[in-house]
Amino acid sequence: MNKDLGWWKDRFLSYLQIERNYSPRTICNYSIDIQQFIDFLSESQLSIDGLMPSSVVVKAYLSLLRRRGMSSRTIARRLAALRGFYNFLILKGQVKDNPFAMHPNPKERQKLPQFLTEEQIDRLLSIGYSNDFYGMRDKAIIETIYSTGARVSELVGISMDDLKLDEGLVRLFGKGRKERLAILGRYAQLAIKQYLRFRDDLADSNERALFVNRFGKRLSVRSVENIVRMRLIQSGLYKPGLSVHSLRHSFATHLLNRGADLRTVQEMLGHKNISTTQVYTHLTVDRLREVYDNAHPHAH
């Protein structure tokens, strides 16, 4: 049995190399993943029908991987290799069905992006921005993201026509060019007004971008990422995992901590589904205690 699987494994790897032009690294990983399944069958002395393991055998193998403490990503890679292998066996007429097709990848625990506390945001915005184009632009960028919860791609997409400073609003274009109006708080409005004095002298009339580089052209996503990282370092707040997205995450976290409801935050973030917004509901224990103490009749 195992010799047959081993022989077909070699044929599969040759197929990946010659006909599919897979990278040597991917082929090596597939070889290891398939061989470990073959070794599992031998060590467990589980019988299979020709080359076809039963659903019970597949479940036993996946259960073993979980007991060994493998990450969801590693198990998903093993499944991908074995699905590919059995699709190849179907192609060659050796089996009729793929025994791994009915087993979805395990859900990977969603990692929460790091966020800044309200005190850290205040620190980031009070590090002494120079009264020139760079200082005023960088402060306006950070204030705008924190005020609106904009994605960095939405921020760089803002044009002068999208800005309604007198109304405290800015138009953002999210995923799929979905449009929404975001609120600019007083601090963001002031920062943008101060920045515009320098921006208007630098950019020519044909450039409609709100945030520009030193050549007067629209900033790129990478440029904004570098700007925020530099300011985080300058404020002494930077650590691995903090990024420009952490400002968006801080925006949502602080709103929820101060009593905003999830549906409102969902709309402000431009999320299509509320399940996406629920990643931001890691309220602090202190906040939960405060709500409980104020709301529950037997709290005291």
**Residue 22 appears among annotated catalytic residues:** no
Contact 185, 145 (CB under 8 A): no
Q: Which of 30, 129, 195, 280 is catalytic?
A: 280
**Residue 164 appears among annotated catalytic residues:** no
**Residue 109 appears among annotated catalytic residues:** no
Q: Which of 77, 78, 248, 249 is catalytic?
A: 248
d(CA 280, CA 273): 13
**Residue 86 appears among annotated catalytic residues:** no
d(CA 249, CA 10): 48
Q: Which of 175, 178, 186, 217 is catalytic?
A: 175
**Residue 151 appears among annotated catalytic residues:** yes
Tokens encoding 299: 């709290």
Q: Which of 103, 229, 245, 254 is catalytic?
A: 245
**Residue 103 appears among annotated catalytic residues:** no
Q: Which of 151, 199, 218, 249 is catalytic?
A: 151
Alpha carbons within 13 angstroms on the beta-carbon side of residue 207 total 18
d(CA 154, CA 175): 9
Q: Give the residue numbers annotated as catalytic, written as ranges.
A: 151, 175, 245, 248, 271, 280
